[in-house]
Amino acid sequence: MTPEQRWQAARFVTAMYFGYPLFFRYPIYVPASGVILGEIVRERRGHFNLIHTESGLKADFYTVKRDEPPI
């Protein structure tokens, strides 16, 4: 796990909690930075969700390695 990966996970969680006013208006579950970091460092198939707690709708996030070609 590199400092860059830790920074990416922390930056994402910080943006979800503090960077976007949308998230202040709606009850959205954002995983802890440790969970996101764990998915970022996975060799394959990293994945986590943001969940709207009132409706149960979720947004899926899939992590990719930098050496993987875009889909």
Contacts of 71 (CB under 8 A, 6+ apart): none
Q: Domain limits of the chain?
A: 1-19+35-71
**pTM of this structure:** 0.60
Angle at 40 between CA 9 and CA 33, to 5 degrees: 35
Digit-coded pLDDT (tens) for 23-67 = 556 677 888 878 888 888 887 788 899 888 888 999 898 887 766
Dist CA 41 CA 1 (whole Å):
6
Say what the pLDDT of residue 5 is.
75
Dist CA 24 CA 33 (whole Å):
18
Strand 58-62: give its sheet, edge to edge.
28-29, 47-52, 58-62
Q: In the predicted model, is pLDDT for residue 18 greater than 70?
A: no
